[in-house]
Amino acid sequence: MAPLPRYEGTFSFVSSRLYASIKRAMPTYDKEDPKTWPYVTLSTIEKLRPYQGYPDLPTGVAYQREAMKRYENMYTPQERAISASVNGPLHQRYPYNYDRFDEPKEKVGMSGAEYRSYMANTTPMPSTPRVREREEWEQGIPDSAIDCDTPPGGRMESASPTPATRTQPPSRCTDKTCTDTRREAARLRGSLFDKDSQLLSCQSDLKEYETTEKLRRRALEDAEYEVEKEKQRADAAEKECMLRMEGNIRLQQRVRELEGKVKQAQDLDGYCVELEGEIERLNRVREVEEEESDDGDDSRARKRMRSESL
């Protein structure tokens, strides 16, 4: 088959989110057709957060061998067998990484015969317990709420196992009671994962609510601060307005005083003009009287001279 395109975008342990992100980057992607699957490296996965093999990786993708080794190192062969009985064989879920015997492939890929067999007989299975049952509420779980460090049942993460550190699996019991017990244990492990995810989701929602509430309170405080500032500006503007009104009143009083003085000056000017006219009239009258007086004195003098000559 042709080489797979490499996907280096946003990774998510929630299958639907990962499929949507891949679809945006690769429009021809079809999670049911392995020919369209991308190749995802461990470094791309760990852009989200460190991965130690838990939770299970979403299906519909070909993973780098190092990523699948983390998963293999997390669980014993017995635990992987129980998981396969619940979730489906590994070669159905990760056909690029496991052969039909659920043995890991050293080289990631599929032959033409494997591809035809997969398309004819297999449909992709969900990668984590009860994923299909959780599809409705899984959308609300943020990727940051998925704990990649704590496996189900509180089993501590470990480095690559060695015979000294890993308990050798006992021979598998084929009794129906044992099989039912193993399946019930796997179901309870999946239920515990669901509850853990729900708890983390609730904690994330609570943290988001607290953050939102803090922002809301801060916004209210900012709004109250702005209102107080506006009140202060309004008080300052009102005070300035009052001062300007007082100044305008004083100016109006001054204007009225000046107008009164101007009117007085105008009245004085008119009186002066009248007085000057009266003075001129009196001067003319006096001149006329003086002329008449001079004429009378001359006539009396002539008469006196005339009488003396006689």
Any idea what DSSP says for residue 62?
Answer: E
**pLDDT at residue number 138:** 47
The tens digit of pLDDT for each residue in 142-191 reads 554 444 444 444 433 333 333 333 444 444 555 667 777 877 777 787 67
Residue 147: strand pairing partners: none
Extract the tokens encoding 241: 């307005």
Q: Answer yes or no: is pLDDT of 135 > 60.
A: no
Q: b/e per residue, 68-79, with b = 16+ CB within 10 A?
A: bebbbbbbbeeb
**pLDDT at residue number 173:** 56
d(CA 86, CA 82): 7
Among 73-82, 140-149, 167-176, 295-304, the range with the most confident prediction by mean pLDDT is 73-82
pLDDT band at 108 (very low <50, low <70, confident <90, very high): very high
**pLDDT at residue number 11:** 93
Q: How much is the average pLDDT of 126-143? A: 48
Q: Answer yes or no: is pLDDT of 94 > 90.
A: yes
Residue 289: strand pairing partners: none
Handedness of CA 21, 22, 28, 30 (dihedral sign): negative
> Does residue 154 or residue 257 have the better pLDDT?
257
> Does residue 86 or residue 70 have the better pLDDT?
70
- Whether the CB-CB separation of 51 and 151 falls below 8 Å is answered with no
> Does residue 76 or residue 38 have the better pLDDT?
38
Q: Answer yes or no: is pLDDT of 38 > 90.
A: yes
**pLDDT at residue number 30:** 93
The tens digit of pLDDT for each residue in 199-225 reads 887 887 888 888 888 888 888 888 888
Centre a 10 Å sphere on the Cβ of residue 30 and count the other Cβ atoms it contains: 13
> Which amino acid, one-letter code, is at 11?
F
- Whether the CB-CB separation of 97 and 105 falls below 8 Å is answered with yes
Least confident range of 42-46, 152-156, 189-193, 282-286: 152-156
> Does residue 134 or residue 114 have the better pLDDT?
114
> Does residue 168 or residue 114 have the better pLDDT?
114
Please name the residue ranges forming H helices in the chain: 15-25, 42-45, 65-74, 77-87, 90-93, 112-121, 135-138, 176-309
pLDDT band at 23 (very low <50, low <70, confident <90, very high): very high
| Average model confidence (pLDDT) across the chain | 79
The tens digit of pLDDT for each residue in 242-253 reads 999 999 999 999
**Sequence-distant (≥ 6) Cβ neighbours of residue 68 within 8 angstroms:** 57, 94, 97, 98, 104
pTM above 0.85, yes or no: no
> Which amino acid, one-letter code, is at 45?
I
d(CA 112, CA 1): 6
**Sequence-distant (≥ 6) Cβ neighbours of residue 201 within 8 angstroms:** 137, 140, 141, 142, 145
147: Cα separation from own chain's centroid: 25
Percent of the chain surpassing pLDDT 70: 78
- SS3 (DSSP) at 262: helix
Q: Which residue has the tokens 């499929």?
A: 19
**pLDDT at residue number 122:** 63
- Whether the CB-CB separation of 93 and 124 falls below 8 Å is answered with yes
Q: Answer yes or no: is pLDDT of 301 > 60.
A: yes
Q: How much is the average pLDDT of 110-137? A: 65
> Does residue 217 or residue 297 have the better pLDDT?
217
d(CA 29, CA 99): 23
Centre a 10 Å sphere on the Cβ of residue 8 and count the other Cβ atoms it contains: 14
DSSP states of 22-54: HHHH-TT--TT-GGGPPEE-HHHHTTTS--SS-
